[in-house]
Structure 1
Amino acid sequence: MSLADEYDVDVAFYHRDATIYVDTRSGASEHLLGLLDDLGLNRHRALADVWHQVPDEMDEIAMKSMADRAAPLLARAGYQVDIDAGLFGGTAYRTALAEQAAHRQPSPPAPRAAPPRRTR
């Protein structure tokens, strides 16, 4: 069972032993795994387990920045994401939120209430 299964999310980011790991649910779709690959995360496999990691050759700031950018992109794609609080909220995250807000469709105007009908 992966951490994503335990947290009941599609993707779980966590930091352990100077590495950022990205777990997906057991049996995650190839589409999700491919999206994580495309975001620059390294895919790993051992027996039936599949997980991703931020590349080890990156320094701590670059690793956090990569996770920071990936999480809102996954959420925007419709996946439920859990991320350790220490990884989230940096500059890249705030930039991604601003970009997301800029692309959000404006809410439709509220319908006007009909005037009350008079009765005699």
Structure 2
Amino acid sequence: MNCMNNLIIEGNITEKPKLETLCNGTKLCSVNIAVSRTCKNSAGDFEEEVSYFDIITYGNMAEVCSANCEKGRGIRVVGRLRQEKWTDGNGKEHSKIVVVAEHIEFKPLIKKPEEDKA
């Protein structure tokens, strides 16, 4: 049985990306995004649901991502999910799910009104 692990996710960058170089020389960039959707709750009122995701990129894409990811900018990510596992200094095991980006589209930057006056 073949398994499928693909996703497309679109959201806004929540903070400055982190670029690092792994011990083998590969570049790695991690960036966090917020994805929001509006839905009706059980009372029939609209409410906003926000989810946060960790995105990682490698190689040339990591360098492009580091240079173009600004807080608030919209991005669309095509990638796959990966579970990361580690043990902390106290021996406690942890895990989290990250999105490994295979393609990223950057939304156009929106100029702020004060930038027009400069």
Q: Do Structure 1 and Structure 2 share a fold, with TM-score over 0.5?
A: no
Which of the pair has the greater relative contact order for Cα pairs under 8 Å at 6+ separation?
A: 2
Higher helix proportion, which one? 1
Report the TM-score when normalising by structure 1.
0.26
Question: Which has more radius of gyration?
Answer: 1
Higher strand proportion, which one? 2
